């Protein structure tokens, strides 16, 4: 248990640094731009991660939103309940998961739609298939052909958005005294916190691999911008207002200054 506390404390100290939280979101734009330049110049050699069949992509990235919700839901409940156990407060905070899922769904479905309406079906990289029934990527690929459209990078979007979503929701650990919790809840919360930080490392790494190995520059940049907009409009604009899921608690209620 002591080793868990040491790891948690080091991670908390890192996220307490104002510059880390302020600059971290914008690092995705930098990675996307630099990675795209390196890809176009072919500076980065082919590696295990240049194949879409690598284990991290198949078992994590392909179901990244599932991993994010699987780890974040119990963490959100445990950490937020340490500040306020009221059902209304916890239900309101859980709405942030619903909102984030809606952002993920709307954006990814929009990306699919754009790819469909801008694309065409090709028998190979040069020969276009001129059949009216092949009007979507799904139909074209089921027929064994290749669809070419404006493919906004869903990987760039979901990996950046998931990371920023987790970053915001693990904030309560910065002011939560885990030593005041009983044995099992304390251990579970610590393990979830460490797991969420590890999954963020995986998401950032795979975002970097996407930037240097896949997609056209504009596809990746637009996917990244959509992720930043989804995060910014919720956590920096909407959630600071009363009629919203609210920001994650970062000070214990007893430490809050009374309002007039």
Q: Is 215 a catalytic residue?
A: yes
Indicate the helix (H) or strand (E) that contains 87.
helix 87-118
Residue 126 CB partners (closer than 8 Å, separation 6+): none
> Can you read off the two tokens belonging to residue 259?
């309002």
> Can you read off the two tokens belonging to residue 69?
């919700």
Helices (H), 17-153: 18-23, 27-41, 55-59, 64-81, 87-118, 137-142
25 secondary structure, DSSP code: T
- Which residues on neighbouring strands pair with residue 146, listed in sequence order? 122
Catalytic residue, candidates 215, 219, 252, 259: 215
Calculate helix-pair angle for 27-41, 217-231, nearest 10 degrees: 170
Which phi and psi (to 5°) does residue 122 adopt?
-125, 140
> Can you read off the two tokens belonging to residue 76?
């959100």
Catalytic residue, candidates 155, 219, 252, 259: 155
CB 90, CB 208: distance < 8 Å: no
Q: Distance between CA 12 and CA 174 in Å, rounded?
A: 5
Q: Which residue has the tokens 């801008």?
A: 118
CB 158, CB 48: distance < 8 Å: no
Q: Is 155 a catalytic residue?
A: yes
Tell me the catalytic residues: 155, 215
């Amino acid at each position: 248990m002591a080793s868990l506390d040491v790891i948690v404390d080091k991670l908390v100290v890192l996220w307490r640094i104002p510059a880390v939280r302020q600059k971290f979101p914008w690092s995705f734009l930098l990675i996307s731009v630099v990675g795209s330049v390196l890809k176009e110049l072919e500076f980065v050699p082919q590696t295990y991660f240049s194949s879409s069949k690598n284990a991290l992509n198949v078992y994590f990235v392909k179901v990244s939103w599932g991993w994010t919700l699987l780890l974040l839901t119990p963490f959100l409940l445990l950490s937020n309940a340490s500040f306020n156990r009221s059902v209304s407060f916890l239900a309101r905070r859980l709405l942030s998961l619903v909102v984030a899922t809606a952002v993920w769904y709307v954006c990814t479905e929009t990306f699919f739609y754009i790819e469909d309406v801008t694309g065409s079906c090709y028998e190979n990289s040069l020969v276009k298939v001129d059949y009216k029934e092949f009007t979507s990527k799904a139909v074209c690929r089921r027929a064994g052909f290749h669809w070419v459209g404006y493919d906004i990078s869903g990987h760039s979007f979901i990996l950046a958005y998931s990371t920023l979503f987790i970053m915001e929701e693990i904030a309560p650990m910065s002011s939560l005294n885990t030593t005041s919790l009983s044995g099992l809840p304390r251990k579970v919360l610590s393990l979830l916190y460490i797991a969420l930080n590890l999954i963020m490392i995986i998401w950032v790494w795979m975002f970097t691999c996407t930037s240097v190995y896949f997609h056209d520059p504009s596809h990746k940049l637009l996917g990244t911008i959509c992720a930043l907009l989804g995060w910014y409009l919720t956590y920096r604009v909407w959630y600071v207002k009363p009629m919203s899921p609210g920001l994650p608690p970062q000070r214990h209620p007893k430490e809050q200054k009374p309002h007039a």
